[in-house]
């Protein structure tokens, strides 16, 4: 399975943008990049996913490098509710896709 590398923790001030990086240098051409987050005492929550082009949804934006070896999850205006562990995951398109979470990035929002 292709692996991802994320910083263990990050801090951000409330109402400021947050850029969460993820390195996936061994990504294959058919791997989708997914982001999930897990708030305390809750199950993981889908955030966004993409393949090659940058993606936007109501929660966040996903910026994918041209060589696809890295990506950045962008929270445009962090709130206290965004404090969570964020996971960057690769899912392949070969019929054996399954979410394998690494350690993720623990995001702390400072009021």
26-45 positions binding another protein, by CB under 8 A:
30-32, 34, 42-45
The answer to the question of residue 46 lying near another protein (CB under 8 A) is yes
- Contact (CB, 8 A) for 67 and 19: no
The structure tokens listed for 1 are 């399975």
Among 20, 75, 91, 109, binds another protein (CB under 8 A): 91
Distances (CA, A) of 2 to 11, 50, 72, 80: 27, 16, 17, 32
Contacting another protein (CB under 8 A), which of 11, 25, 51, 52?
51
The phi and psi torsions of 97 (rounded to 5 degrees) equal -65, 135
Binding of residue 102 to another protein (CB under 8 A): yes
Nearer to another protein, 12 or 64 (CB): 64
2 in contact with another protein (CB under 8 A):
no
Q: Minimal CA–CA distance to 85: which of 24, 23, 7, 3?
A: 7
Binding site for another protein (CB under 8 A): 30-32, 34, 42-46, 49, 51, 87, 91-93, 95-103
């Amino acid at each position: 399975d292709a692996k991802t590398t994320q910083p263990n923790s990050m801090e951000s001030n409330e109402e400021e943008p947050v850029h969460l990086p993820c390195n996936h240098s061994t990504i294959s051409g058919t791997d989708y990049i997914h982001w999930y987050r897990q708030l305390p005492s809750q199950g993981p929550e889908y955030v966004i996913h993409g393949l090659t082009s940058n993606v936007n949804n109501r929660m966040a934006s996903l910026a994918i490098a041209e060589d696809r070896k890295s990506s950045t999850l962008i929270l445009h205006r962090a709130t206290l509710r965004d404090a969570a562990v964020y996971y960057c995951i690769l899912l392949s398109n070969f019929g054996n896709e399954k979410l394998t979470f690494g350690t993720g990035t623990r995001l702390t929002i400072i009021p």
